[in-house]
Structure 1
């Protein structure tokens, strides 16, 4: 589904593909920039699972990347990046290194192993399949790709959580576009940034309504003990503005403001929140970091909200995770 909020593929030069393994469910998503894109990253969560993020430091050599992997499966899911690299190499996309073209594909994973059979997780073939499905059309949202096994609101236990997902959004100002693709598997609640009211997250003990995690914690309700890294929101911000590597890194940093507006609590010790930023430069313009940062935070928050609003409830074994639409109907 896709509404008036737009999609990351509204940015010229960006393609998105999903692979969804319905056996568990789990999956992975890939953002492709065939011509290469200047890239940056900002990892805020305390329990990240990432690949090749060090090379995106403004002080390091590599300037452009060719794809970003977002995957379920925790650290095992990083294997899906091998399939992305293989597919891009077959398409003759990559950085020249002597006689070969080397695709540069950073990535990040989220923990979805509590949903279904944890032995099923994305691998290299899953990453390859995600690339094979990629296009510049608006990508599907909700229970697909890296959002297939995502859940939100686990602070009082997975049994009181709700279904997370993947969402996308874009905004265009004066001929420059910024878009985001976000896989939301947050420990905290997802909040409507316009009303500050929870949309999805931890439910009350009887499961019929939202508990409102922030207020529940402040009232003294104790969170359940948590395994570190069992959550995480990951995503990609893309723009057709012309950016330096330093500016791309800053765009990723400011994008986290969008997570702070739409998730509470966020950046916890049990989350590995990470955002990448890509700049294709197709517009030939840079309207300034003040505007671009404002646009980035906005589309990140919009994409988080769309991720849970598009998500459908699932049952995996004895675990039932309702979607936001299920509680709305209730």
Structure 2
């Protein structure tokens, strides 16, 4: 008899939660401010993780990304942060550092303790929320709150860094998915979908990622019977309105920094499988790939190839789930959610 996960999907295909929580050794914390219409998502590692990154958007912004280069000195990181707020959101990493330092977690240099906390941000400053925060933006405290909330539960939709996220035609949000490889390795993705383009084929309801869907994790609609040539008519926010999809790919595999960087690069294909416009001049698309190291690679070439390929697929599914589960913002003129337009 086939075992089923908490989501009703076969555990031979996904992990028990079909989310980032299926990777042992990490916890997710999320916090947002409804009036601000923005928030923060934080991944904390029980043990320092090996992380690589790929930033292919024309307007990406982040913190400590250079430390993730394969030839950089620091080998592991203690947390990863995804945040709204554009450049203001970069304060979030300081809140995570404060939380980790208070618990004695960090990279030690003599008497100094420095938590390594890379971060990427998305632009959500024009979504109708109240951004008049005074002297300092609130992202440091939101991130600290997210750390306090961190656990094994992965909430989806309008939450955390995805609370204020939008696409060109629908409300965006946080999505997650997982997959179990034949090698036994687990690969999962967490996505913040604030895309410059659309996740839908010709306005919907079908998702571009529909051919990769497992079960009915984002509606079970698949693709249209006769897919139109919609790729020739891309829908995007236009003008100087930025859009960004941020992602964390996590695996229990034991990877080097160079191998993790390869996975982050390969995962970018997931953006193309789930969105009709990516890597535009005002995109900030950034992907982290984190390896907890629990399961060695039996075949470095075969296993790494499959982890990279499945990272792209699982990210595409996470992007669709982020839009599918989102709810619209309570502000005048806010974009509708997928469920508002197409029902449950």
Q: Partner of 1:37 in structure 2?
A: 49
**Is contact 2:197-2:278 (8 Å) kept?**
yes
Q: Partner of 2:208 in structure 1?
A: 192
Query: What is the distance in 2 between the residues matched to 1:329 and 1:39?
Result: 39
Q: Partner of 2:175 in structure 1?
A: 167
Unpaired stretches in structure 1, ≥5 consecutive residues: 154-160, 200-211
Pairing partner for 2:131 from 95, 100, 118:
118
Secondary structure of 1:113's counterpart equals coil
Unpaired stretches in structure 2, ≥5 consecutive residues: 1-5, 200-206, 213-217, 219-228
Structure 1 position 254, deviation (Å): 0.5
**Is contact 1:73-1:122 (8 Å) kept?**
no
Query: What is the distance in 2 between the residues matched to 1:171 and 1:214?
Result: 27
Query: What is the distance in 1 between the residues matched to 2:92 and 2:131?
Result: 16
Size of the alignment, in residue pairs?
A: 304
Q: Partner of 1:208 in structure 2?
A: none
**Is contact 2:54-2:265 (8 Å) kept?**
yes
Greater strand content: 1
Query: What is the distance in 2 between the residues matched to 1:320 and 1:124?
Result: 26
1:145-175 CA distance string (max 9 Å, x none): 000000001xxxxxxx320000111111232
Secondary structure of 2:258's counterpart equals helix
Query: What is the distance in 1 between the residues matched to 2:232 and 2:257?
Result: 40
Structure 1 position 213, deviation (Å): 7.1
Query: What is the distance in 2 between the residues matched to 1:96 and 1:224?
Result: 44
| Residues 1:36 and 1:266: Cα distance change in structure 2 (over 3 Å) | same
Query: What is the distance in 1 between the residues matched to 2:276 and 2:262?
Result: 23
1:49-91 CA distance string (max 9 Å, x none): 1111011111111110011110001100000110000101112
Q: Stretches of 4+ moved more than 3 A in 1?
A: 2-5, 212-217, 284-287
> TM-score, normalized by length of structure 2?
0.83
